[in-house]
Every structure is written in C-alpha cells, then in structure tokens.
Amino acid sequence: MRSSEQTTVLITGVTQGGLGAEVALAISRSLPKLLILAGRDLAKAQATETAIKLVTPGAAIRLLKLDLSSQKQIRQAANEVNGYQESIDRLINNAAIMATSYATTEDGTESQFGTNHIGHFLFTNLIMLKIFAAGQGARIVNVSSAGHRRSPVRFDDYNFGVCRFLLKLILNLCVCDMNTEMGRTAQLTINGRPMAKQRLRIFFSRWH
C-alpha cells in the first residue's frame, strides 16, 4: 500500500460542522498528495479549505462542485474528475441528507434515496476507472448508519411511495455488490457492511 503522501483523497459533503469536514481535516494532517473537497455549495467547501489550511498550511486541496441530487450535475462532476491527471486512491462517500420532508430530486427519485444512494452510486461508477487506475490498495469508503437495522429493503417501493425507512440499507447492499464484483477483479477494497447480492445487482442495474 502506498504511503499517505502519495494518495489522492476525494471526500463528498465537506461542510463545516459535519463529519466530512472533520475527516478532511484529519486526513490533511498526513499531507496527502491531493485532497479533493466535493460539495454542492463551493462556498462551503471553500470555508472548509480555509479551516484546513489554518491547521495544515501545506495541504494540497482542490474543490469540486458535486450536487448528488442532480444526475446531470453528477455527470459534470465526474467528467471533471476523469479529466484530472491524478487517479483517486481514496473515495469517501460521506455526503447525505437525513429525515427531510418528502421531496424528489430533479430526476424524480425520492430525495434521500436519490442523494445518499443513487447519487453516490452513479458518481462512484462514473469515476471507477480513476479508482482502478490507482491500483492495488485503492479504497472506497461508504459512510453508513445503523439505520439499516430498521427495515429490510422493499425493492417494490424504492421510491418511498408507501414506506419511508430504507435509509442506509441500500448503500450497505451496494457495498457488498461492489466488493464481490470489483474487489475480485481490481483488488479494490470497499469498506462497509457486507450483505445481499443477486436482487441488488438487478435493482442497481436501473441506474447504470
């Protein structure tokens, strides 16, 4: 595994006061080659950059506009990442919304599901070659939640038409699918809670 000075780390959801900003700050202390702060509001990402630079003046930071509630914007962000010279050694899918009023994304998906799960799933897949390019030891970290214990996945109601408690279970299942499929071929490690397989693969094929 390469040393931290050689790694490029991309973190989503880096607003001050949240876990993403704290993780970014902690990682900056080991002076990675590049820290990419991805957020839907660049002013907030900029504030986190400023805070990091106060603690780690030598940190190499790049900002990325990424709105996970818009598949169009996710594709733009992924295009930007795919144009980088650097490969992505660490992708930390941290951004999320939680317990918001019922709403849909511009793509018509329930907003939590669309942002937390489909958004990250699409973004991760679109930049997967950049992660593969980092080689052995590349890592995807999906920040999860104990909320998955509250309900099984109801695949017939993924858009929360009837019930609204899918929470993080989908992302956890996605981790398992990625691990079994990609871990084998690309020796990529994906952190998260391992779970189901076949139904999930069919389910997520809708967003490929």
Indicate which single residue of 24, 44, 63, 204 sits in contact with ligand NAP (rule: CB under 6 A).
44
Q: Any contact of residue 183 with ligand NAP (CB under 6 A)?
A: no
Alpha-carbon distance of 101 to 28, in angstroms, equals: 35
Indicate which single residue of 68, 122, 131, 176 sits in contact with ligand NAP (rule: CB under 6 A).
68
Residues 145, 175 contacting (CB under 8 angstroms): no
Q: Any contact of residue 192 with ligand NAP (CB under 6 A)?
A: no
Indicate which single residue of 15, 71, 109, 179 sits in contact with ligand NAP (rule: CB under 6 A).
15
Of 56-64, 65-73, 129-137, 190-198, which segment contacts ligand NAP by CB under 6 A? 65-73
Alpha-carbon distance of 1 to 131, in angstroms, equals: 14
The answer to whether 28 is a known catalytic residue is no
Helix (H, G, I), strand (E, B) or coil at 159: coil
CB of 114 to ligand NAP, least distance (A): 8
Report 119-178 residues binding ligand NAP (CB under 6 A): 143, 145
Indicate which single residue of 9, 11, 14, 190 sits in contact with ligand NAP (rule: CB under 6 A).
14
Cβ closest to ligand NAP, residue 132 vs residue 158: 158
* Catalytic annotation, pick one of 28, 69, 70, 144: 144
Residues 123, 68 contacting (CB under 8 angstroms): yes
Q: How many residues make up the chain in this entry? A: 208
Indicate which single residue of 63, 95, 140, 176 sits in contact with ligand NAP (rule: CB under 6 A).
95
194: Cβ contacts below 8 Å, ≥ 6 apart = 172, 175, 176, 179
Q: Any contact of residue 19 with ligand NAP (CB under 6 A)?
A: yes
Alpha-carbon distance of 162 to 164, in angstroms, equals: 7
Indicate which single residue of 13, 36, 112, 190 sits in contact with ligand NAP (rule: CB under 6 A).
13
CB of 73 to ligand NAP, least distance (A): 8
The helix (H) or strand (E) run that includes residue 63 is strand 61-65
99: alpha, beta or left? (left if phi > 0; alpha if psi -120 to 50): left
**What are the tokens at 87?**
């490969």
Alpha-carbon distance of 117 to 102, in angstroms, equals: 16
Query: Would you tell me which residues interact with ligand NAP (CB under 6 A)?
Result: 12-15, 17-20, 39-41, 44, 66-69, 94-98, 115, 143, 145
Annotated catalytic residues are 144
